[in-house]
Amino acid sequence: MAAMAQSATRIAGVVKDEQGNPVQSATVSLLRARDSGLVKTAVTSADGLYEFVNIKPGKYFASVSLVGFAKAGSAAFDAAGSDINLPVIALKASTREIGEVVVQAKKPFIESKIDRTVVNVEASPSSAGASAMDILEKSPGITVSSDGAISLRGKAGVIVMLDGKPTYMSSTDLANLLKNMPATALDQIEIMTNPSSKYDASGNSGVINIKTKKGRNAGFNGSFTLGVTTGIFNPNGTLYIIPKSQNSFNFNYRKNKINIFGNYNPNYFRGRNELTIDRNFYNNGAIDGSSSLLTSFKFGNFNQSLKLGLDYNANKKNVFGVVISGFEFNGHPTPVTVSTIKDKNGAVQSTLVSNTANKIGFQNFTGNLNWKHSFDTLGTELTADLDYVKYSNVSDMTLTTDAFNGSGAQIGSTLYLKGHLPSLIDIWSFKSDFTHPLKNGRFEAGVKSSIVTNDNLVAYTRQLPDKTWINDARSNHFVYEENINAAYVNYNTQIKKWSLQGGLRVENTIAKGRQVTNDSTFKRNFTNLFPSVFVSYEASKTNQLTLSYSRRITRPNYQDLNPFTYFLDSLTYRVGNPYLLPQFTHNFEFSYAYKSKLIITANYNTTNDVISQILKQNNTSKITYNTSENIARFTNFGLSITAPISFTSWWNANFFTNIYNNHYVGVYNADPIDISFTSFTANITNSFTFNKKAGFSGEISGFYRHKTVDQLAVIEPVYQVGFALQKQVLQGKGTLRLNVRDPFAWQKFTSVIRYSDVDVKAVARPDVRQATLTFTYRFGKNTPGSQPRRRTSGSQDEQNRVGGGGN
């Protein structure tokens, strides 16, 4: 037994730079003292920590390396069964230069890890001129619908975070933000399909965390990117040339105990889209009429985002930080819709022509105060975050409608409807996390509380034939208040080749909604438990198996709870549902990893009370509207494969495919719903190095999504291909990129919705065929140093639920 106890030594330590700041992503090698033979390797965390577990008795030393630094190491030491805490290893910046050319380590575009997939945005030449949404769309397992809703491995209900913070926006506003956020402002995208109990329980299909760039070098450093894009849109033989421009500036200043970082991204955007919707109307099971709708979208906006942050290392044990950020959007979409109503024989009965002039102003402010206390150098720490988030979204619209009979003669006078739709959201959030490493394990615990107030007003006025204006009955005022309190514990341990982790999260939700106009109120108060379990077995140095389970919740988006009416035209609109209930999901995953590169994952999950977007229609008035209801039970199972492939020294590829089945079962208008479909997606990114010394490289990438079912709609195949070139200039300080996206205009979104008396086909054509040229220049000393702490603030769920990326 004594011999068994001595075989489980744990060795830990921390790596810092010359200023005493922790160094992230350094490679730490544990070597035998007698012959310098490699025993194990580790990579330092954001706090500079590393550890080795299950080390046999013997004499060892540690060696640390990182591009831009001279190698460093520890003195030799004896491992004899008890835990060992090595002294701090300090790295010194390397002064070596090769012909004055800056040497930079290159990360792969996609990294596959056992618990997540990491997309390194800067590593892809096709990031030139691309938006955050474009990068998401080509990322493994992610699909994006025509209206910007995000799904992961065929499942909706994704939580999208920015730097660990939820976005708190409606799905429409979130899509606008991601479409207008330049990829040059991004560092990484983390994709987690089964997060632990440490994360908010929201999101039935997982979490996508978008990390923006933050400085990591000593002194004053940064980069700026200038980009110009030309879009080509050619619907129905009409050619449109569409200008766009995406730009970014990133900087950091780090000296002694202070690190200041920030970025600014101004963007000029113009675009066009086209939407067609064909509907059939029924009477006693037989077609009694039809309608066809064509909407031509023309839109333009100027948007800008700003982020500023400061980390202050007060002493060896305490770090304080503040981060403020903001986003401003000013847009003027002007859709024109032509709706044609036909009888059962196909004869035109009437035509409606609707013109909508919109003026949209959207502002967001986020403030974060954070603190971290380190109790020791083994990783025992306490963190705290206080967040305040404010959203202001004001939309002013004027909808004009002209009606014509079957012969084309106008019926009556032009109808006018004006709307003033302000929405204000205030969010306060606090969270604290405690982490304590143990022998062969780690204990984590934390608490979180958030308070949300969502105040929405819609004021419609319409013009009478005598030109006077009166208030419209569809005006409304809705106030929603919510308080969520949560706590969690998480424990993991390693027993020989087994890694075990278990966690439990409890969340209490108190909500109140009030329609001021008719003085109606609803209240909810419920508490739920969310367990998670992970079991991993290291069969050998190259083979690993992992089994995981978690229970998750998807609460209704704030927009879905809002009972307002939003118009596309006089016959088509959207309305919210304040009586929506949350949906609950059980997620199971089993993964096999070979050399942590080839990863095969089988998943199964089931969701009750699915929040589904559904269509309702009046077969007499020919009005159709979209709303959300809990009407179905959803089951998803699938098999995914992630594989990096190296064909030659100059050609590497990353391949991802997911084969899955989606099955919805429910009831609508007393009619059964049973929709099932087996489908697959595939993503491939080919990277080519044409001339390594000259920094000349290229990329060919694409994705294909087969016919599938999503939220009761059958989606036809969607596919796209892109080409990109990249050239290093100015001795490695500058980069030129040329990116051509969807040159053959293949991408379009076609959906068919058929259940009960609903029979609809919709086709959306976005202007994604684009060519972009960008120039990036990096200034300052290009020596990697410590990474500013990435804050996963207290507002991890609420920001996303101003809409949510997957609903």
691 vs 324, residue with greater confidence: 324
Contacts of 751 (CB under 8 A, 6+ apart): 146, 713, 714, 715, 716, 761, 762
Could you tell me which of 193, 198, 21 has the C-alpha nearest to residue 636?
A: 193
Q: pLDDT class for 148, splitting at 50, 70, 90?
A: low
Mean pLDDT on 468-477? 84
Q: pLDDT class for 802, splitting at 50, 70, 90?
A: low
Mean pLDDT on 534-556? 88
Q: pLDDT class for 786, splitting at 50, 70, 90?
A: very low
Q: Dihedral sign, CA of 97, 103, 104, 105? A: negative
Could you tell me which of 324, 364, 389 has the C-alpha nearest to residue 173?
A: 364
Give 253's DSSP letter. E
Looking at residue 127, its pLDDT comes to 66
SS (H, E, C) 356-409: EEEEEEEEEEEEEEEEEEECCCCCCEEEEEEEEEEEEEEEEEEEEEEEEECCCC
Q: With 0.85 as the threshold, say if the pTM is over it.
A: no
Read off the tokens for 692. 């390594």
For the CA atoms of 598, 602, 606, 607, the dihedral, rounded to the nearest 10 degrees, stands at 10
For the CA atoms of 168, 173, 174, 175, the dihedral, rounded to the nearest 10 degrees, stands at 170
User: How far is Cα 787 from Cα 44, in angstroms, rounded to an integer?
Assistant: 11
Residue 8 scores a pLDDT above 80? no
End-to-end CA distance of the chain: 55
pLDDT tens-digit map of 161-181:
777 766 656 566 677 677 767
Q: pLDDT class for 788, splitting at 50, 70, 90?
A: very low
Pairing of strands 565-569, 572-575: antiparallel
User: How far is Cα 352 from Cα 607, in angstroms, rounded to an integer?
Assistant: 41
Looking at residue 4, its pLDDT comes to 37
E-assigned strand segments in 517-622 = 520-538, 543-554, 565-569, 572-575, 583-594, 598-618
Residue 145 phi, psi (nearest 5): -80, 175
* Burial label, 366 (beta-carbon count in 10 A; 0-12, 13-18, 19+): buried
The runs of H, that is alpha helices, within 386-525 are none
Contacts of 680 (CB under 8 A, 6+ apart): 657, 658, 659, 660, 706
Mean pLDDT on 212-224? 73
Find the helix or strand (DSSP H, E) in which 134 lies.
helix 132-137
Q: How far is CA 81 from the centre of its chain?
A: 44
Give 217's DSSP letter. B
pLDDT tens-digit map of 735-762:
898 999 899 989 899 999 888 888 999 9
User: How far is Cα 8 from Cα 33, in angstroms, rounded to an integer?
Assistant: 19
Pairing of strands 89-90, 9-16: parallel
pLDDT tens-digit map of 393-427:
899 999 999 999 988 899 988 999 999 989 899 99
User: How far is Cα 184 from Cα 11, in angstroms, rounded to an integer?
Assistant: 39
Q: Which of 107-116, 543-552, 589-598 reaches the highest mean pLDDT?
A: 543-552
Residue 440 phi, psi (nearest 5): 65, 25
Looking at residue 3, its pLDDT comes to 38
Number of residues that this document lists for the chain: 807
Q: Dihedral sign, CA of 62, 63, 64, 69? A: positive
Read off the tokens for 328. 């401003």
Looking at residue 284, its pLDDT comes to 82
Residue 791 scores a pLDDT above 60? no
User: How far is Cα 777 from Cα 731, in angstroms, rounded to an integer?
Assistant: 11
Q: Tell me the pLDDT of the chain averaged across its residues.
A: 82
Looking at residue 1, its pLDDT comes to 36
**Helix-then-strand count for the chain, H and E:** 4, 47
Looking at residue 368, its pLDDT comes to 92
pLDDT tens-digit map of 424-456:
999 999 999 999 888 778 899 999 999 999 998
Q: Taking the CA of residue 277 as centre, how many other CA atoms within 13 Å lie in the half-sphere pointing to its CB?
A: 23
User: How far is Cα 744 from Cα 322, in angstroms, rounded to an integer?
Assistant: 46
Looking at residue 133, its pLDDT comes to 76
160 vs 726, residue with greater confidence: 726
CA distances from 422 to 233, 359, 393, 801 (A): 33, 12, 6, 18
pLDDT tens-digit map of 319-353:
899 999 998 989 899 999 999 999 989 999 999 99
User: How far is Cα 490 from Cα 199, in angstroms, rounded to an integer?
Assistant: 11
SS (H, E, C) 751-787: EEEEECCEEEEEEEEECCCEEEEEEEEEECCCCECCC
User: How far is Cα 789 from Cα 204, in angstroms, rounded to an integer?
Assistant: 28
User: How far is Cα 148 from Cα 298, in angstroms, rounded to an integer?
Assistant: 17
